[in-house]
Amino acid sequence: MTEFGPDSLAIDEAAEVERISARIRSYLAASRRKGIVVAVSGGIDSSVVAALSVRALGADRVFALHLPEQESSDETISYSTELTDWLGVESVAENITPILTAAGCYRRRDDAIRSVIPDFGPGWKSKIVLPSVVDSDAFRLFSVVAESPVGEQVAERLTAAAYLEIVAASNFKQRTRKMLEYYHADRLNFAVAGTPNRLEYDQGFFVKLGDGAADIKPIAHLYKTQVYALAAYLGVPESIRSRQPTTDTYSMPQSQEEFYFSLPYSLMDLCLFGLNHGIDAEAIAQAAGLHADQLERVFRDIEQKRRSTAYLHEPPVLIAPVEELLRLDLS
C-alpha cells in the first residue's frame, strides 16, 4: 500500500479541468443560460473558478465582479484586477460600503464589540478568533481582538449574544455581494458560479444565501490542495497562487485558520481526506505531524462542524412536496 501523505491528494489536472468544463457547459445548456458570473476576490478559489469558466466557455461568456468594501484588504482589488486582466474577461467594480452602511452592518457589529470592549469606537479595527483545536482539549470559545487607532491591542472573550450579533452583522457582506452577483446574472441571463472548495463546503464555512448561494459550484468537490494544483495547471498568476488565504471579512488581517479551521489548509486536507477515505488514524497523524490525541480532537471538530452547519445545506422545508417540479431535470 502506498504511504499516506500529500501525494494521496494528487489528481489528473487535465482530466479534472475537462470534467468540470463539460459540466459547466451542460448545466448552461440545460438551464438556458448564456454564461457565468463570478465574484473575484483575488483569492485562489474564485480565481480558479473564473479560470475554469473561461476554459469552459471562452472569455466573452464570463463576467467578473470586484466587490470590495471599506474593510477589505488593500491588496484585494489589485489581485482581482490582475486576474481579470490576465483572463481577458469583462469585469465591473462595485464598492458595497454604502449598502452595508445603510443596512447597519458596521454599526450593529461595533455595538456588539462594545458590549465586551467599551472603548471600541471610530478608528479601531477588529477580528474574531478561535483557540487552536490541537493545542488544548478545552472548550473552544470565540474572542474578539481589537486594535486602537494608536496600535494597542486588546482581546476579550465574547459572550454568546455578542458573538452571534457580530456574525449576523458581518454576514451582510456576503449577502450583499451575492445580491449584486444575481443582479448582473439576471440582466445578462447568466448563471452565478459559487467558489467554495471542499473544506469550506464540507465544514459549513459559508453564509446561507450569501457566499453559499450559487447556481453551480465547480470546485466544491476539490480539496484546497487540489485547487492549488488546478491553479498551477491553468496558469493562474503566481502572485495569487502564493497569497496567504484570508477571510477578508474583518478589518484586521485574519487567516482562515485562526477564524475557523484551526489548522493550515494543507493539514486540514490530510485530516479530512484521511477521515473521508477510512485511512488508518496513525498514518494520518504521522502525515500531518500530529499526536494521536491531537488528531482525535481534529476529528471531533470536523464532525461537530458538520452537525452544527448541516442546516446550511438544506433547501427550504415544504409542508408537502410539489410533485410536478420533482420531475424536472437540469443535469
As annotated, the binding site for Mg(2+) includes 45, 200
**Spatial distance between the Cα atoms of 124 and 75, rounded to a whole number of angstroms:** 20
In terms of Cα–Cα distance, which of 155, 87, 169 is closest to 120? 155
As annotated, the binding site for ATP includes 39-46, 195, 224, 246
As annotated, the binding site for deamido-NAD(+) includes 175, 208, 215
Residue 310 burial by Cβ neighbours in a 10 Å radius (0-12, 13-18, 19+): exposed
Cα atoms in the 13 Å half-sphere on the side-chain side of 12: 6
Position of cell 445603510? 102
Report strand pairing: 36-39 vs 143-147.
Answer: unpaired
As annotated, the binding site includes 39-46, 175, 195, 200, 208, 215, 224, 246
Rounded (10°) CA dihedral 244, 241, 9, 16: 140
Residue 186 burial by Cβ neighbours in a 10 Å radius (0-12, 13-18, 19+): exposed
- N-to-C CA span, the chain: 37
Residues in the chain: 331
- Give Cα 139 to chain centroid, integer Å: 25
SS3 39: strand
DSSP type of residue 96: -
Report strand pairing: 191-192 vs 36-39.
Answer: parallel
